[in-house]
A = this chain, B = another copy of it.
């Protein structure tokens, strides 16, 4: 069984270990959802950029979905040989030694720092800036694995925010723990730590461990022994068994006590074996509102703009590279929300078509390069390879006959150029990429876009055949935790051979389209470097002007009040 915890809901999926067939699944939405305005039961407003969650929601997922899946599948609970868990990351909470979240205790339930800080809690930016500055000044070697920058979304900036803003929570917490590891603790009664979150979010590496106590002391005097006091230096590699279902957890979930539980994992990374990826040079794109790229390599190379490089972080024995594009599905949603004329909406409705579908059909009638348009896909900044949140979108080539579907296609192409730029950056840094794989909503539902990606990258693309690739990946790790002797597998590589699922279709590059896209990509790269590499910092300067005018100027168009605005034309 795989249990997948997303940002708004969790789900359980039961998989037949001998075939990979998905037997039953169940989903449960978090009652508290994203806590961004006020804590439950209080009226005090949270500051901007906060995103919390309530750990009870995760317990509810276990309690609701697992029995539901067992019932639906009509099997005996003893037939379930292992459980794997994946979670969003870095999603952390402060707990007592026995695993009780601090926010469950009456004395802390009105303290926002006692709750789960979700991955997209962005209120620790000051702390992240300070951490980066200090680490650079000290010449900390670990920075290289993160391309010189620790994100405010990650572990230690979040811990720093707690120590600075709520020292009583810092003191009261026996442990800070990733939600993935906490769920494993709920199930097994044992605290374990996994190499994936520790590596990608916690500045840990297999070779070097955590940064030195001296470094942590330089962040905050009280943090000198933070690793030993609040974490653990024992990090289990992905693919290990964490423990077994306790009697208490068996009551909660309906699973049999003694069932094997895998070490925790991250929702994106766990998709890798579910797509059958087991070798170096196979890049997985997890495509949704944004795209996460994961690649296996056999050596640790410094690749500019990567989010992280972690040994054993994705598949044991490999270096897992992670990269990302911060705006993919979100960009198309913005376009639909902002730029689709009424006539199209009416026509789509009349034809009974979803507007995305309608636009794609129109855009599919165009040839590559025919619109004369080119975009930079930076509506939400550029994660890889520029790692610059203050970059913004750009579109050029418009004429008076430019149509909405041409802009739509140009935006899709821009995200494909962004992917190609990431691929080329890996390759110029001695990390080869031979094949592409994709999973997620876009990959399974948009063949038009996938064909453009194949043409732009000049590479074949294979698509996950599971609607729940991530949960399937967790189930595979569950089978590995159980082991071959118990009907599972002795390694994730073995499990991937049998249980992974790909669609029959392979998107193959069309040589004529490739030739046109090669020329367009050269133009993309020119503009990418012009706007992204400090040749013209206009995007950042416009953001500065935007911030300043929003704050300081109270301009009002007096003339608007004094004249009746006549309609025209």
A372 contacts B546, C-beta separation under 8 Å: yes
- The listed residue (B372, B376, B404, B446) touching A565 by CB distance below 8 A is B446
Is the pair B392, A394 in contact by a Cβ cutoff of 8 Å? no
Query: Which A residues between 306 and 355 are near B, CB-CB below 8 angstroms?
Result: 327, 329-331, 333-334, 337-342, 345-346, 353-354
Whether A398 and B394, one on each chain, are in contact in the complex, defined by CB atoms closer than 8 angstroms, is: yes
Q: Are A549 and B396 in contact (CB under 8 A)?
A: no
Minimum C-beta distance from A548 to chain B (A): 7
Task: Please state if B380 and A399 are interface contacts (CB–CB under 8 Å).
Answer: yes
Establish whether residues B341 and A338, one from each chain, have CB atoms under 8 Å apart when the complex forms: yes
Please name all residues of chain B whose beta carbon is closer than 8 Å to the beta carbon of A527 when the two chains form the complex. 536, 538
CB-CB < 8 A to A379: which residues of B?
A: 398-400, 402
Given the contacts A340-B341, A356-B567, A536 and B526 also touching, CB distance less than 8 Å: yes
Q: How many whole Å from A559's CB to the nearest CB in chain B?
A: 5
Q: Which of A155-163, A238-246, A362-370 is near enough to bind chain B?
A: A362-370
Say if the beta carbon of A48 comes within 8 Å of chain B: no
Is A126 interfacial (CB 8 A cutoff)?
no
Q: Which residues of B contact A542 (CB under 8 A)?
A: 369, 372-374, 396-397, 520, 523
Interface 9-mer from A166-174, A295-303, A511-519? A511-519
Per-residue CB proximity of A543-565 to B under 8 Å, as 1/0? 10110111001110111101101
Contact B565 A448 (CB under 8 A): yes
User: Could you say which residues of chain B place their CB within 8 Å of the CB of A190?
Assistant: none
CB-CB nearest in chain B for A560 = B364
A568 / chain B contacts, CB cutoff of 8 Å? 354, 356, 441-442, 445-446
Contact status B364-A557, CB under 8 Å? yes
Q: Does A233 sit within 8 A of B, measured CB to CB?
A: no
User: Residues 176-187 of chain A: 1 if any B CB is under 8 Å from the residue's CB, otherwise 0?
Assistant: 000000000000
Residue contact A451 to B560, C-beta cutoff 8 Å:
yes
Asked if A403 lies at the interface with its beta carbon under 8 angstroms from chain B, I say yes
- Minimum CB–CB distance from A226 to chain B (whole Å) comes to 35
Question: A104: CB under 8 A from chain B?
Answer: no
Q: Which B-chain residue is minimally distant from A403 (CB atoms)? A: B338
Q: Is A98 an interface residue (CB 8 A)?
A: no
Q: Decide if A569 is an interface residue (CB 8 Å cutoff).
A: yes
Classify chain A: how many residues form its interface, as a range.
35 or more
Interface: A393 (CB within 8 A)? yes
| A459 beta carbon closer than 8 Å to chain B | no
Known: A340-B342, A448-B560, A451-B560. A371 touches B565 (CB 8 A): no
Write out the residue numbers on chain B whose beta carbons fall within 8 Å of the beta carbon of A360: 565
Whether A338 lies near B404 (C-beta < 8 A) is yes
Write out the residue numbers on chain B whose beta carbons fall within 8 Å of the beta carbon of A341: 337-342
Closest to A563 in B: B447
Evaluate whether A356 and B569 lie within 8 angstroms (CB atoms) in the complex, with A380-B399, A546-B372 already known: yes
Asked if B404 and A445 make an inter-chain contact with CB atoms under 8 angstroms apart, the answer reads: no
How many Å lie between the Cα of A568 and that of B342 in the bound state?
20
User: Which residues on the B side are within 8 Å of A548 (C-beta)?
Assistant: 369
A539–B507 CB distance below 8 A: no
- Contact A510 B393, beta carbon cutoff 8 Å: no
**CB of A222 closer than 8 Å to a CB of B:** no
A536 CB contacts on chain B under 8 angstroms: 526-527, 530
A residues with CB within 8 A of B: 327, 329-331, 333-334, 337-342, 345-346, 353-354, 356-357, 360-361, 364, 367-374, 376, 379-380, 392-400, 402-404, 407, 441-442, 444-448, 450-451, 505, 507, 510, 512-513, 516, 519-520, 523, 526-527, 530-531, 536, 538-539, 541-543, 545-546, 548-550, 553-555, 557-560, 562-563, 565-569
5 new A-B contacts at CB < 8 Å, known A357-B566, A372-B546: A367-B553, A367-B554, A393-B399, A445-B565, A445-B568
